[in-house]
Amino acid sequence: MLEILNLTKTYGKYKAANDVNFTVEDGEIGILLGPNGAGKSTVIKSIAGLLRYKGKILIRGMEAKSLEAKKIFAYVPELPAMYEALTVKEHIEFIINAYHVPVSEEDIQKLFERFELTDKQDKLGSELSKGMMQKVSICCALIIRPKVILLDEPMVGLDPAAIKELKQVVMELKEMGATILISTHMLEMVKDLWDVMFVMDKGHIIASYKKSDVKEEDLEELFFHVTDNEKEEEK
């Protein structure tokens, strides 16, 4: 479970995230949806421990900043960062050693095969395209078998085959009881993935939905209905 309680992040007088509250249960896929500049990445980076904030963030009941929480948590950033002097496989091995997780060579190769990295595993970080770096970043997150995983705009830069594979992996994690939170502005990419959706704009959660409640309603129509109403109220 991932719980966000009264999360506020300010830059001077500007509130990038303003009293944000939401919960994603175990075995659920949560979507944090909103236009660019809505505050989604601020929330994601706060959960990931990259920003200081006011409020509380709990990962399976543990403070997100605690070592115990970090052991079961993985984060795929919007802009992947690679060590230029490490190969693709060395990145994976670095993560395995850092988290002290038992992973076989077979497990590593299966993951490479899923994301078409088998013939790229000896390439250096400096030799990879953004799409390839994104795939490596996803593999680094998945190899520790996280209980809670955050993905910030994970499908940007991926080819169609990788997008399909990532969606399948997300569904597998859900079936294993993991908590998944995906931040995106790309409705089309997540319309078949979500259980709960939180619409964010101007630092606020302006609406939330459960898939079980809205049934067959179109995700795009829900999003534009609530964001259009928000604009009307501002006039």
Q: What is the pLDDT of residue 172?
A: 93
b/e burial code for range 139-175 (CB count within 10 A of at least 16 → b): bbbbbbbbbbbbbbbbbbbbeeebeebbbebbeebbe
Q: What is the pLDDT along the chain (235 residues), one digit of tens a residue?
A: 999 999 999 999 899 999 999 999 999 999 999 888 889 989 999 999 999 999 999 999 999 999 999 999 999 998 888 999 999 999 999 999 999 999 999 999 999 999 999 999 999 999 998 889 999 999 999 999 999 999 998 888 888 888 899 999 999 999 999 999 999 887 777 888 899 999 999 999 999 999 888 766 666 777 776 666 555 555 4
- The residues facing 209 across adjacent strands are 197
Give the CATH number for residue 48. Answer: 3.40.50.300
3-state SS, one letter per residue, for the chain:
CEEEEEEEEEECCEEEEEEEEEEECCCCEEEEECCCCCCHHHHHHHHCCCCCCEEEEEECCEECCCHHHHCCEEEECCCCCCCCCCEHHHHHHHHHHHHCCCCCHHHHHHHHHHCCCHHHCCCEHHHCCHHHHHHHHHHHHHCCCCCEEEEECCCCCCCHHHHHHHHHHHHHHHHCCCEEEEEECCHHHHCCCCCEEEEEECCEEEEEEEHHHHCCCCHHHHHHHHHHHHHHHHC
Quote the CA–CA distance of 139 and 163 in Å, as a whole number: 13
- The residues facing 179 across adjacent strands are 148
Whether 179 is in a domain gets the answer yes
Q: What is the pLDDT of residue 137?
A: 94
154: left (phi over 0), alpha (psi -120 to 50) or beta: alpha
Q: What is the pLDDT of residue 56?
A: 96
Whether 119 is in a domain gets the answer no
Full domain range(s) for residue 152: 2-85+146-234
Whether 76 is in a domain gets the answer yes
Whether 152 is in a domain gets the answer yes
- Dihedral sign (CA 195, 155, 20, 227): negative
Whether 17 is in a domain gets the answer yes
Whether 62 is in a domain gets the answer yes
Q: What is the pLDDT of residue 234?
A: 53
Look up residue 67 and give its two tokens: 């070592």
Distance, CA of 108 to chain centre: 21
Contact criterion met (CB below 8 Å) for 202 and 15: no
Whether 206 is in a domain gets the answer yes
Whether 61 is in a domain gets the answer yes
Number of domains observed in the structure of the chain:
1
Q: What is the pLDDT of residue 192?
A: 83
Q: What is the pLDDT of residue 193?
A: 87
